[in-house]
């Protein structure tokens, strides 16, 4: 079956702009999580959605937001981009299965902020 | 606060050598533990997981890991590495009652296997 699909794969923005990233989970998966990966900070949790509701949020400023649609697809948005937002943004989906949940990751969207 | 510590940031070894990557975690409660691998240019893939039961778990590509609860450790091992094992390895933990999709990752260990 198809994996987790993220679009776009690469994008370049300038400071102050905003960006929207999209994630299509594996068919049947209802939970979507987002992570930021940078060389300095590693993999950091951004937020998680299930049934169109945000269930958890990491320690990121309010410029980072997301949403989930009724078909479980998710988007994340970063407004007023800063140079430090340059990163690989990873989306992961899961069924979920309480106590035994496994995340499957997409290839990521690589954002460069100039 | 939850944390995951991976002992080595970089490991270089020759083909056929044995590999052991250390992972310790700090978490107040029952945990689920994972090792993910990121091959060059590829996405994060699950190597193996521990939920409960036998503390010695086997994963893909000949990898195994041992959960030692008393030491809060989940070390990854492979008896004989191949050049294709060159990758970055991440240990991750989540609580069993935590949000399903919230993993705490370690900083990662870059493993380079030389021919």
| In chain A, % of residues over pLDDT 90 | 91
**What are the phi and psi torsion angles at B37 (to 5°)?**
-130, 140
Whole-angstrom distance, CA of residue A28 vs CA of residue A33: 15
Identify the pLDDT of residue B55. Answer: 95
Angstroms from B40 CA to nearest CA on chain A: 12
Looking at every residue in chain B, the average pLDDT score rounds to: 94
CB proximity B90 to A under 8 Å: yes
Cβ contact (<8 Å) for A100 and B44?
no
pLDDT tens, position by position, A12-39: 999 999 999 999 999 999 999 999 999 9
Residues of B numbered 11-70 whose beta carbons fall under 8 angstroms of chain A's beta carbons: which are they? 32, 34, 36, 42-46, 49, 51
Q: Closest Cα to residue B58, out of B39, B77, B36? A: B77
B40-95 confidence digits (pLDDT tens): 999 999 999 999 999 999 999 999 999 999 999 999 999 999 999 999 999 999 98
A50 and B100: CB-CB below 8 Å? yes
Looking at residue B98, its pLDDT comes to 66
């Amino acid at each position: 079956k198809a994996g987790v699909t993220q679009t776009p794969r690469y994008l370049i923005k300038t400071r102050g702009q905003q960006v929207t990233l999209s994630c299509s989970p594996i068919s049947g998966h209802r939970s979507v999580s987002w992570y930021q990966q940078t060389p300095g900070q590693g993999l950091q949790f951004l937020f998680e959605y299930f049934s169109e509701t945000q269930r958890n949020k990491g320690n990121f400023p309010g410029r980072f937001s997301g949403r989930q649609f009724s078909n479980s697809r998710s988007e994340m948005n970063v407004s007023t981009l800063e140079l430090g937002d340059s990163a690989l943004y990873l989306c992961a989906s899961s069924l979920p299965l309480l106590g035994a949940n496994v995340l499957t990751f997409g290839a990521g969207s690589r954002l460069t902020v100039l | 606060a939850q944390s995951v510590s991976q002992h080595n940031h970089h490991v270089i070894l020759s083909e056929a050598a044995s590999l052991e990557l250390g992972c310790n975690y700090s978490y107040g409660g029952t945990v689920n533990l994972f090792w993910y691998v990121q091959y060059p240019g590829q996405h994060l893939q699950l190597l193996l997981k521990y939920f409960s039961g036998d503390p010695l778990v086997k994963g893909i590509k000949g990898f195994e890991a041992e959960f030692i609860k008393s030491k809060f450790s989940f070390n990854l091992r492979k008896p004989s590495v191949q050049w294709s094992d060159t990758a970055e390895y991440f240990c991750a933990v989540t609580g069993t009652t935590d949000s399903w999709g919230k993993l705490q990752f370690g900083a990662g260990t870059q493993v380079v296997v030389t021919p």
